[in-house]
Amino acid sequence: MKPFDSDPHIDAAAYWLVLQQSGSLDQQQQQRFKQWLAADKKNREAWHKAQRLSGMLRNVPSDISRSVLGLQQTSKRNFCKALAGLMVLPVGGWWLLRDSSTKPEYPQIATVKGEQRQVTLTDGTSVKLNTDSRVAIDYSQNRRNLIVLTGQVMVETAADPQQREFWVTTDHGRLMALGTRFTVSSSVAQTQVAVLEHAVRIHPERHHEYIEIAAGQAVVFTESSIGQPQANALTASAWSRGQIVADDQRLDAFVAELERYHRGMIRVEPAVARLKISGVYQLNDIDGIFNTIEQTLPIRVQRPRPGWIIVSAK
């Protein structure tokens, strides 16, 4: 492929990126941008790839920015040349944008049901995986990206001698660590982020705005929406301390979460499913948890065979 035989979605994304970074986007252009973003999934994919380059435009000289803004009357080739000149990177910013459309096989780390695992990445960043979780490591000369494929992780970022930003990617969007310690929980429906130190910037997949949350806060987001930040980061990250926290929670919901750590089967009878439970419990003692709640709730806990637990009414 020739360097400037470019994809129209990539071209458009790069055009909008330059406009937004220049601060010259008026109200009419903002509306056009929103319409373009909503019109095609490929536009959204290209836009999020282009956002990877946003940090590289912070110190662009104004005369270069202005030369790129008059694009309506220029050819695609001339625009690509201008953009290539704008992004001066060791590997070429344009190629970083283009190459991100591929899906290479990245090294992966995983845990099985009932296992937690802590690893240190090549840059010194610490990653703790919760039970039944999987991540991929996408590190290059220009970026650090942790892809959460499923489950939960706690990340404590290390200072990078190459000054690369640290990103986490889930099915619902991306988030940038701002010198921080935080947890990410990715499910089919949503992603939850809880910040324990400093801050995190969250970019949902189909949402053109971002939100920044600080230490002590947690928030849930989907591809197209961001919830209100809540001051419950310690509760949301309890698993990273080996705990499970219930706050007036239904028994069946509590047990469903607890079963993720149990290498066996747990069944809650409908007669007791709506009972409410509160407390902080240690995940390394599943049997102890059931012994405790059996004393505080009107339930009976049976263990008919190894690994099987049945919760019913007394």
Tens digit of each residue's pLDDT, the chain (314 residues): 333 344 677 767 777 776 665 566 677 777 787 788 878 777 777 776 666 544 433 333 433 333 333 334 344 444 444 343 333 333 333 333 444 443 456 888 999 988 999 999 989 999 999 999 999 999 988 889 999 999 999 999 999 988 899 999 999 999 999 988 999 999 989 999 999 999 999 999 887 788 999 999 999 999 989 999 999 888 889 999 999 999 999 999 999 999 999 988 999 999 999 999 999 999 999 999 999 999 999 999 999 998 899 999 98
β-strand partners of 279:
246
Both tokens assigned to 197:
């130190």
Q: What is the spatial distance between Cα 33 and Cα 21, in angstroms, rounded to a whole number?
A: 14
Size (the chain), residues: 314
Would you state the torsion angle of the CA atoms of residues 296, 302, 305, 309, taken in this order, to the nearest 10 degrees? -50
Task: Supply the pTM of this predicted model.
Answer: 0.64
Q: What is the spatial distance between Cα 157 and Cα 170, in angstroms, rounded to a whole number?
A: 17
pLDDT value of residue 88: 33
Q: Which residue, 206, 203, 6, is CA-closest to 97? A: 6
Both tokens assigned to 127:
């990653």
Provide the 10 A C-beta neighbour count for residue 304: 8
Q: Look-up: residue for tokens 């992004």?
A: 87
β-strand partners of 170:
173
